[in-house]
């Protein structure tokens, strides 16, 4: 059976920063930057200038 939280524990959780959200944002942002770099350097630049 889950333990009930007292008021101090609830306030500590509510006042803490959302670490999981920041970690997910960092992972998604890093993935987007890597995808953009791959497209720019791996696809667009090797094809050369537009004629």
- Reduced 3-state DSSP string for the chain: CCCCCCHHHHHHHHHCCCHHHHHHHHHHHHHHHHHHHHHHHHHHHHHCCCC
pTM of the model: 0.66
List the domain boundaries for the chain: 16-47
Q: In tens digits, what is the pLDDT along the chain, a chain of 51 residues?
A: 667 889 998 899 889 888 999 999 999 999 999 999 999 999 999 998 887
């Amino acid at each position: 059976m889950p333990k009930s939280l007292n008021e101090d524990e609830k306030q500590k959780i509510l006042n803490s920063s959302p670490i999981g959200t920041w970690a997910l944002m960092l992972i998604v942002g890093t993935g987007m930057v890597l995808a953009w770099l791959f497209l720019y350097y791996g696809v667009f630049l090797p094809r050369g200038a537009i004629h």
